[in-house]
Amino acid sequence: MTTRTDDLNKTELALPLKKEKADWLSSKIRDIPDFPKPGILFKDITTLMKDAEAFHFTLHSMAQETAKLKPDVIIGIEARGFMLAPPIADILGLGFVPIRKPGKLPYKVEKVTYDLEYGSDSIEMHIDAIEKGQRVVLIDDLLATGGTAAAASQLIKKVGGDLVGIGFVVELGFLNGRSKLDSKADIFTLLTFE
Ligand code: AMP
């Protein structure tokens, strides 16, 4: 087995991605119509992640953009954020902090409840997960309505973190999720679908 090192061209990794690179990466994402319910076109990133080259490129491109924000810690949201944030944290030599669904974290938590299309949901974080004023970058798979990332941003503030950036692999631009997000944070995405 070969070990992968920093074998990528930094210019190619830079955002915004060149059209050719963006088209290549988009081709690795599988569209599933009407999942999980009619009318939703689900962007399935499992096909991107199982492709070693595409996954490696995604992680390193996001890591390069994240590094510019000089974070102290990387945060990921359960569940898909857990597939991306920890390897990015490791590439940057940083630690990882999880935001989880209710009842999963064993120590004292802060909680934020947010509205969904039908009903509401909550997310939690350990109260001591971040030191006051630490610079934090949040990583998630996809920006849709922005409800989840906005709630995560509130939670990070509650525990005393300074949210300097939020990174996604995919943004569904037509849902205008960016308008819900903290205007102070730098928001970046590898691929935008309009
Ligand atoms: P939101 O709070 O609306 O921004 O979406 C939260 C999460 O739902 C994202 O992080 C995705 O994991 C998932 N999601 C929402 N819409 C889609 C979609 N069309 N395709 C894939 N995942 C989606």
First-residue to last-residue Cα distance in the chain = 40
Predicted TM-score (pTM) of the model is 0.96
Does residue 80 line the site of ligand 1, with CB under 6 A?
yes
- Active-site annotation, residues: 80, 117
Residue closest by Cα to atom 10 of ligand 1: 142
Taking a C-beta distance cutoff of 8 angstroms, is the pair 48, 25 a contact?
yes
Predicted pLDDT at 3: 58
User: Ligand 1 center to residue 81 CA distance, Å?
Assistant: 11
Which of 26, 140, 148 has most ligand 1 atoms within 8 Å of CB, for mutation?
Answer: 148
Residue type at position 107: Y
- The answer to whether 22 and 191 are in contact (CB under 8 A) is yes
- 189 touches ligand 1 (CB under 6 Å): no
Q: Which atom of ligand 1 is nearest to the CA of 45?
A: 21
What pLDDT does 41 receive? 95
pLDDT in tens, 78-92: 999 999 999 999 999
Contacts of 8 (CB under 8 A, 6+ apart): 56, 57, 60
Q: What is the pLDDT of residue 4?
A: 65
List the domain boundaries for the chain.
Answer: 15-193
Q: Cα of 65 to ligand 1 centre, how many Å?
A: 22
Q: Which of 48, 142, 193 to mutate to test the pocket of ligand 1 (most atoms within 8 A of CB)?
A: 142
Fold of 15-193: Rossmann fold (3.40.50)
Residue 147 CA, closest ligand 1 atom number:
2
2 CA distance to ligand 1 centroid (A)? 34
Q: How far is the CA of 142 from the centre of ligand 1 (A)?
A: 6
pLDDT tens, the chain, 194 aa long: 555 667 888 999 999 999 999 999 999 999 999 999 999 999 999 999 999 999 999 999 999 999 999 999 999 999 999 999 999 999 999 999 999 999 999 999 999 999 887 789 999 999 999 999 999 999 999 999 999 999 999 999 999 999 999 999 999 999 999 999 978 999 999 999 99
Task: Write down the pLDDT at residue 2.
Answer: 54
Report in angstroms the alpha-carbon separations of 114 from 29, 47, 64, 125, 160: 28, 30, 31, 15, 19
State the closest ligand 1 atom to the C-alpha of 144, by its place in the atom list counted from 1.
4
